[in-house]
């Protein structure tokens, strides 16, 4: 990752440079002695991370963020001797706030968290971008013809064919897509996901489950109006009485 160090004190810049040299995943590409230099650098050079001091003569760390714009700032970690600005730092979307003096263990632990967070942010950004591409490609096309779902997985995005999904389980504000022996988690509520899927491809059978119609093998009555849906994969899922009539209409089977 391309890193810039911004600090008005030469010893502080040197200490950060030494610590970063211990890591193979970071490369210091620039050092800035003040906020003005930092603003010019950030506007001109692509950076993966900025280590930014708070108190500097002239333009301070928050002045740098204001000049560049919080939404345009690279991922930022404030490195400072003052703890009074921590809340404000996170308000401008800082990834972390490291207090001087710090030891190597504390510093590297913070960087490990930063690396994980940057990967998460990149995955989400890529998923959003991919979603925009899919939307643009299908502009003017009925939603029932959209056949793939972008799923963020670590630092990559998987494109899952809707037709390959066997069944879907709700998990709070997320869903788990069951695709053969694989599971994919998507941060989207069940109802929102189903609304964007092919209209007759999936049917909800329980408040927590929806199944691919093409995977339904048989229905088993359990008594007292309850039933079980058996999929071609062998999975057995409860059919709630609330959704029984809806499934019957979709399948055209007597239940």
The larger pLDDT score, comparing residue 179 to residue 133, is at 179
Domain with CATH 3.40.50.2300 in the chain: 2-102
Q: Give the phi and the psi of residue 9 in degrees, each rounded to 5.
A: -105, 120
- CATH T-level fold of 146-251: OB fold (Dihydrolipoamide Acetyltransferase, E2P) (2.40.50)
Q: What is the pLDDT of residues 168-199, one digit of tens each?
A: 999 888 899 999 999 999 888 888 888 888 76
CB environment 205-223: b (16+ within 10 A), e (fewer): bbeebbbbeebbeebeeee
How far is the CA of 101 from the CAs of 57, 105, 161, 195, in angstroms? 20, 12, 51, 53
Residue 34 tokens read as 């003040």
CATH classification number, 2-102, choose in 3.40.50.2300, 3.40.50.300, 1.10.10.10, 3.30.70.260: 3.40.50.2300
pLDDT at residue 236 above 90? yes
pLDDT of residue 144: 46
pLDDT of residue 146: 57
Domain with CATH 2.40.50.1020 in the chain: 146-251
């Amino acid at each position: 990752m391309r890193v810039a160090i911004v600090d008005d004190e030469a010893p502080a810049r040197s200490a950060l440079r030494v610590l970063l040299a211990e890591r193979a995943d970071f490369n210091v590409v620039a050092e800035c002695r003040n906020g003005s230099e930092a603003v010019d650098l950030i506007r001109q050079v692509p950076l993966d991370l900025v280590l930014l001091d708070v108190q500097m003569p002239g333009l301070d760390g928050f002045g740098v963020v204001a000049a560049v714009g919080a939404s345009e700032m690279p991922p930022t970690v404030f490195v400072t001797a003052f703890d009074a600005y921590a809340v404000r730092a996170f308000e401008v979307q800082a990834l972390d706030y490291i207090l001087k003096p710090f030891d190597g263990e504390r510093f590297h632990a913070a960087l490990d968290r930063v690396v994980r967070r940057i990967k998460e942010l990149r995955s989400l950004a890529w998923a959003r971008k991919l979603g925009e591409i899919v939307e643009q490609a299908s502009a003017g096309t009925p939603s029932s013809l959209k056949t793939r779902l972008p799923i963020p997985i670590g630092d990559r995005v998987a494109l899952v064919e809707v037709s390959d999904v066997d069944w879907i389980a709700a998990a709070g504000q997320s869903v788990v897509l069951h695709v053969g022996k694989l599971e994919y988690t998507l941060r989207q509520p069940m109802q929102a996901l189903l609304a964007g899927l092919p209209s007759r491809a999936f049917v909800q059978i329980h408040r927590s489950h929806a199944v691919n119609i093409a995977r339904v093998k048989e229905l088993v009555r359990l008594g007292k109006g309850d039933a079980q849906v058996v999929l071609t994969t062998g999975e057995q899922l409860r059919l709630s009485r609330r959704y029984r009539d809806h499934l019957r209409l979709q399948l055209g089977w007597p239940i």
